[in-house]
Amino acid sequence: MTLTFRKRRHAVKLPHYRIEEIKELGNTPAITAYLKERGVWQTAQGKLKEVYYYVEDQKKTRKQFYAAGHQNENGGWQVHSQKFHACIGLKGLTIIPGQTEEVSVFNDFFAYLEWLTENQQQGTVVIVNDPALLPQAATFFNNPLPVNEKR
């Protein structure tokens, strides 16, 4: 007779990040270096912020983090660092109104910034931020915004 033991499964607790502070770019050398490395430092000025956030473990010990980020249409913060990319808060599209009826779509904010380094934005920009939001982005094209109007 052979006895087999199964490893007991424990529920995985997802971290709950909390925003502590938002600052303009240029305060944290690591964020500045990351944006320069990505080639978007100049383009990111006025478009990204430095987001300082933390997570508490079960013992209420805080772990502090920081990243470059922008706020989406639902008030959540899309944060990007060298080792972490996520949304803190509600996921949502990012819509940047333009001057023409043309619409450009990007999968994330860095793709938009990289494009913007060599192009001038004229039309509305839709940044999907998460593949799960593609259906929501598609409805945008069925009901486009009037020029220069935000949802």
Q: What are the C-alpha distances in Å from 63 to residues 20, 54, 123?
A: 12, 5, 40
Cα separation, 38 vs 40, in Å, equals 6
Backbone angles phi, psi at 130, to 5 degrees: -155, 130
Its pTM stands at 0.80
Cα separation, 146 vs 5, in Å, equals 63
pLDDT exceeds cutoff 70 at 141: no
In tens, the pLDDT along 96-135 reads: 998 877 888 999 999 999 999 998 888 889 999 999 998 8
Structure tokens at 37: 């490395």
In tens, the pLDDT along 4-40 reads: 656 665 555 556 889 999 999 999 999 999 999 999 9
How would you classify the pairing of strands 85-88 and 100-106?
Answer: unpaired
Annotated domain spans of the chain: 18-142
In tens, the pLDDT along 34-73 reads: 999 999 999 999 999 999 999 988 888 899 999 999 999 9
